[in-house]
Amino acid sequence: RPHSRPRHPGARTMLPLLLLLLPTAHAIVELTYTPVLTQTPPLEGLTTTSTFVLDQPRCVFGGYDNADIWLVVALDKAASTFNNTAEPGTLETSFQGFPDPVSAYMTLNATLANYPCPKPAGDITVLRVGSETSCAKDETRPTCNGPLPGPGPYRVKFLALQGSEPVAETKWSDPIMLRTAKSPNSISTTDSGHSAGMIAITTILSILFAILLAGLVAMLVFWGSESCGGSSTFSKPESVTVRRYNTHHVYDQPAARL
């Protein structure tokens, strides 16, 4: 009969104790809010070639006073595979690595105090994603809100973290497409209103108008000089003859000769 080692009396209680020491996993709360491009009030540049404007998540994260609220920006195709446990400010979520090899980055962190509910009058309640250019290549700022590298499509969501633990998240937005800049070589000169023929006609008419205007100005100057010359002609005055008269009765008096 083989020799068997006696079990330690505390062996049976070791496993339950280890299980109690393991951190318990908390389920992340999925909120019903869906981020959207802002609609009110209408803004210029709602989407550009490198930015877009979102509504702030007001009255969404109530009860998470101690949480940091992050915006997650992802490629449309990578949104479903984003790891909620990824920490912001790491190589895994760095803006400078987006979109390759990083397919989703975290930026625009705020606290619940930054999103008061209800909204105070006069508050700006939008977020412009992609507005920071100074940190776009600065690897010491991995949470930079830098310009988006292409037209997309992108999806975004807000994620609340308490410490490094995710506690609540919104739904992903619908796909967001940015504007595409046209190449100068792709702009046709034969488009309506800008054809080569129209440009030539406009140029000729402009030259003719300039010549006509110059002739009119010259004619006005000539007529003005003629008018001034006629008014400045003076006729030579006639000579005035003054006769000398002698008073005869003066010479007839003897006293006048003395």
Domains of the chain: 26-180 (2.60.40.10)
**Phi, psi values for residue 105, rounded to 5°:** -125, 165
Q: What is the sign of the dihedral through the CA atoms of 150, 153, 157 and 163?
A: negative
Over pLDDT 70: what percentage of the chain?
Answer: 70
- What is the spatial distance between Cα 150 and Cα 48, in angstroms, rounded to a whole number? 10
- What is the spatial distance between Cα 141 and Cα 39, in angstroms, rounded to a whole number? 31
Q: What is the pLDDT of residue 228?
A: 61
Strands 29-30 and 154-162: unpaired
Q: Which residues contact residue 50 at a Cβ distance below 8 angstroms, ignoring those fewer than 6 apart?
A: 130, 147, 148, 149, 178
Residue 162 is classified by DSSP as E
| Global pTM value | 0.64
- What is the spatial distance between Cα 61 and Cα 58, in angstroms, rounded to a whole number? 8
Instruction: Give CA angle at 178 (174, 181), nearest 5°.
Output: 165
Q: Cβ(178)–Cβ(48) under 8 Å?
A: yes
Q: Which residues face 47 on adjacent strands? A: 52
Quick one: pLDDT band at residue 190, thresholds 50, 70, 90? low
Residue 133: both structure tokens together:
């250019």
- For residue 243, how far is the Cα from the chain centroid? 98
130: left (phi over 0), alpha (psi -120 to 50) or beta: left
pLDDT of 223 higher than 60: yes
User: Which amino acid appears at position 168 of this protein?
Assistant: A
Quick one: pLDDT band at residue 83, thresholds 50, 70, 90? very high
Strands 165-169 and 29-30: parallel
Quick one: pLDDT band at residue 187, thresholds 50, 70, 90? low
Q: What is the pLDDT of residue 29?
A: 96
- What is the spatial distance between Cα 57 and Cα 109, in angstroms, rounded to a whole number? 12
Quick one: pLDDT band at residue 219, thresholds 50, 70, 90? confident
Task: Tell me which residue has tokens 């007839």.
Answer: 252
Return mean pLDDT, the chain.
81
Q: Cβ(93)–Cβ(142) under 8 Å?
A: yes
Quick one: pLDDT band at residue 19, thresholds 50, 70, 90? very low
pLDDT of 13 higher than 70: no
Residue 206: both structure tokens together:
């402009």
Q: Cβ(94)–Cβ(139) under 8 Å?
A: yes
Q: What is the pLDDT of residue 20?
A: 42
